[in-house]
Structure 1
Amino acid sequence: MTVKTMHTQDVKELLEKVAGFDQQGGNDRYKKIIHRLVGDVYRLIEDFDVTPDEFWHAVNYVNRLGQNGEAPLLAPGLGFDHYLDIRMDAEDAERGLTGGTPRTIEGPLYVAGAPISDGYARMDDGSEDAETMIVTGVVRDQNGQPLKEAVVDIWHANTKGGYSYFDTSQSEYNLRRRIRTDENGRYVARSIVPSGYGCPPEGATQAVLNQLGRHGNRPAHIHYFVSKPGYRHLTTQINLAGDKYVYDDFAFATREELVIDAERVEDPSRAEAYGLNGPFTEVVFNVDLVSTDDATLQDRHTRARALEGEAG
C-alpha cells in the first residue's frame, strides 16, 4: 500500500502526547528518547507496511522474550553489546586513554561475589571428568610493569556450556573466582577446559536468529573483569583458538588480540610446577591496564547482575 501518515498533524500530536511533551512532570531526557523511539517504530510500520497481525505477533514475541528472561541474550545477538564497546573505545580515544588490553562484551552470565584469594585459585569443584586447564598471566601497566594486588575476576562455562547459578546442577560459584595478583603481578587459576554454548534452540533469541538465517553459537571462551585503583576497569574475554566459532561468534565478541592458544602440555616437569601429575592445557593471558584519574572509569559499569548487591 502507499498510505502515508507520518507527516500528518494527527500523528505528530499523538507522538507528542505519547512522550508526555504536554505534561509538566517526568524526565525530559526520557521523554525525548521515547519520542524518538516510538516515532521510529511508527515510521518502520509505515515504511514496511506492517500489518496489525504482524504488529501483534511482535508484541507477543516481546512478551515471550521477557518471560524467558532472554533479553540479555538477544541484545548481544543483535550487536548491541558490541556497538556499546565501539562507542566506549571511541570515547576512550577521545580522552587519550589508548592502548592496553582490548575490551569486549561482558555477556549476561556474570555473578558477583565469587570467592577471592591471593595469587592462585582452583575454580572447578572436581565434579566433572574433564581436561585440567591452567589459566595464568601477568597484569601490567601500559609501560609493562607488573601490578601487584590487581583483582582478576574470572568466570566461564563447564564442559556442557553451562554456567553455575544459571545452571542449578552446578555447585555455588563453580568456575567463578577472583584472584589478587602477587608481587610479580601474576595470577594462576586451575580449572577445566570450557565448552562453547548455543542459544536454547526453541528459545526466543534463536527464533529471531532463525529468521535472519543465523546460528546462535559461541566459541569456548573465558570472561574477565580486571581492576585496580588508579586504572581503567577492563571488561574482556578470551576465545580459545581452534574452536569452529572463534571467528563466527553470534555475539560479535571476537577480537583478534583476544584469540588465545590453548596448549596441551605433557611435560611432567611443567605439570609438577602447578602441582599436577598428568597432562593439562595451559592458557596464558597477560593483561595490560591503562591508568586514569577518573574514578568513574575505575569500576565496572552499572547494570543488573546476579547477586550484585551481595558482592564482597
Structure 2
Amino acid sequence: MQNITLDTITQAVINHGDRGKSHPRLYEIYTSLVPHLHDFVREVNLTESELQQGRSFLNQASHHTQEIPTGEIHLLTDLLGISELVELLQDAHRGTESNLEGPLYVPNAPERQMGDRLGIDAEGDALLLSGRVFNLNGQPIANAVIDVWQPNSKGLYDIQDPSQPLGNFRGRFKTNESGKYRFETVVPIGYKVPASGPSGELLRLLGRHPWRAAHIHFKVSAPEYTSLTTQIFIAGDPHLDSDTTFAVRSAIVELQKHEALGELKVRNQSKPFYTTEFDFVLKSAPLSSREL
C-alpha cells in the first residue's frame, strides 16, 4: 500500500496515470504545475479554511454577469499578468507586437466598408483612424481582415450596456489593394474593469486600482500570415504606466485634433475631431500551418 506523506504526496500525484503516454504536452504542463502548486501550499502553510475561500472565489469567478457575460476567469488571468506573460513569451519580436485579447471579444462582428463608422455615440469625440497592413518585407497585404472592438465614450462595451445595440463599436474591415484600412470611431477612454464580482474584491483587498488605459482592440488576419491580436493605446492616458492588466507596451498612438471649419466641412464633422494612424505588420505563417 502506498504511504502518502508530506514528502511523497507530490510525486504520487505526478505518477498517477499513464505518465504522458496519452497526452505528452498536457503531462509536461501537469508535471510542472503540480510541484509549483504543492510548493505554494507548503510555503504559505495554507489552511483548510483558506483553501475553501479559494474554491469559493473560483466558483464565483466562473459565474456569468451583466458586467462580464463570459464570467471572470479570463479577466482573472489578465489581472494576474498571466495573459500578458503568455503574449510576451510567444511574441517573436518581429512584426507588430501581439497583446492580450481581453474577456469582451465577440466573434463574427458586423462586416463594414472602408470609411464606415464603427458605432453610434453622439456624445463621443470622433476619431478617424487609418493605416496599412504590411508583411515583413514592407509589401502591402490586400484583403486582410481587420476585426476591431472597443468601448464607447463612457467606457462601456455593447455587451455590458443595454442602451447600446449589439455590435456597436465592433466591426470587420478589409484592406484595399494597397493594404490600407480606414474607419471612423470615437476616442476611447480608460475604464475600470468589472469590479462588482470576486476579481474586483481581490483588487480592493490588495489595494490595486481597477483602471485600464484607453485602448482599441484589433485582430488582423490574412491567408498565409500568422493572425495578430493586439491593442493600441492612446497617448496621454493617466494609466499608461499602471494599466491593471499590465498590457501597455510600445503600441501607443498620438491623436491630432482638428478644429478648423474647413477641415470640419471636408470630413463631414459637426464638431472638433481627432485623427491618428497605425500600421500593422504580419509575419508569414509557418509552412506546416498553411492550407495545401
- The verdict on a shared fold, with TM-score over 0.5 as the criterion, is yes
1:1-32 Cα deviation digits (max 9, x unpaired): xxxx5314xx2575257x4359x996454455
What RMSD over aligned residues (CA atoms) do the two structures have, in Å? Answer: 2.6
Distance 1:151 1:269, change over 3 A: farther
Q: Is the 8 A contact 1:120 1:179 kept in 2?
A: no
Separation in 2, partners of 1:230, 1:28: 29
Aligned residue runs from structure 1 range 19-58, under 5 A: 19-21=16-18, 27=23, 29-31=25-27, 33-58=29-54
Q: Which amino acid aligns with 1:7?
A: D
Corresponding position of 1:198: 192
Q: Which residue of 1 aligns with 2:164?
A: 170
CA–CA distance in structure 2, aligned partners of residues 168 and 261 of structure 1: 31
Tell me which of 207, 214, 217 is aligned to 2:208: 214
* Aligned amino acid, residue 155 of structure 2: G
CA distance in 2, matches of 1:52, 1:159: 45
Task: State whether residues 219 and 246 of structure 1, in contact with CA within 8 Å, keep that contact through their aligned partners in structure 2.
Answer: yes
Q: Secondary structure at the match of 1:120?
A: coil
State the Cα distance separating 1:219 from its structure 2 match. 1.0
> Do the aligned partners of 2:14 and 2:34 also contact (CA within 8 Å) in 1?
no
SS in 2 for 1:245: coil
Equivalent position of 1:303 in the other structure: none
Partner of 1:81: 83
Distance 1:13 1:290 in 2: 42
Aligned in 2, Cα 1:268/1:229: closer, same or farther, shift over 3 Å? farther
Residue 259 (1) aligns with residue 256 (2)? no
| Alpha-carbon spacing, 1:181–1:282, altered in 2? closer, same or farther (3 Å) | same
Q: Distance in 2 between matches of 1:63 and 1:73?
A: 14
Question: In structure 1, how many angstroms separate the alpha carbons of the residues matched to 2:238 and 2:26?
Answer: 42
TM-score in terms of structure 2 length: 0.86
Unaligned runs of 5+ in 2: 65-70
Q: Does 1:291 align with 2:257?
A: no
> Is 79-88 or 210-219 further displaced after alignment?
210-219
Amino acid at match of 1:112: P
SS of 1:165's equivalent in the other structure is helix
Q: Note the C-alpha offset of 1:48.
A: 1.4
Partner amino acid for 1:74?
L
How far has the Cα of 1:52 moved from its partner?
A: 1.3
Name the CA distance, whole Å, in 2 between partners of 1:202 and 1:52: 26
The aligned residue for residue 67 of structure 2 is none
C-alpha spacing 1:87/1:280, structure 2 compared with 1 (3 Å): same
Alignment: residue pair count: 281
Q: Give SS of 1:122's match.
A: coil
Quick one: distance in 1 between partners of 2:185 and 2:153?
Answer: 11
Deviations 1:154-183 (A, max 9, x none): 110012211112433310200001111122
Tell me, what secondary structure is at the counterpart of 1:67?
coil
Q: Contact 1:156/1:222 (CA < 8 Å) preserved in 2?
A: yes
Alignment of structure 1 residues 1-312 onto 2, 5 Å: 5-8=5-8, 11-12=9-10, 14-16=12-14, 19-21=16-18, 27=23, 29-31=25-27, 33-68=29-64, 69-89=71-91, 92=92, 99-126=94-121, 128-256=122-250, 258-294=251-287, 296=289
Answer whether contact 1:82 1:105 (CA < 8 A) is retained. yes
CA 1:232/1:269 → structure 2, altered by over 3 Å: closer, same or farther?
farther
Look up the SS of the partner of 1:182 in the other structure.
Answer: coil
For residues 135 and 124 of structure 1, the distance between their equivalents in structure 2, rounded to whole angstroms, comes to: 13
Taking structure 1 as the reference length, the TM-score comes to 0.80
Seq. identity, %: 32
In structure 2, relative to structure 1, the CA distance for the partners of 1:136 and 1:12 (3 Å cut) is: closer
Higher mean C-alpha deviation, range 279-288 or range 75-84: 279-288
**Are the counterparts in 1 of residues 126 and 187 from structure 2 also a CA contact under 8 Å?**
yes
d(CA) in 2 for partners of 1:162, 1:183 = 34
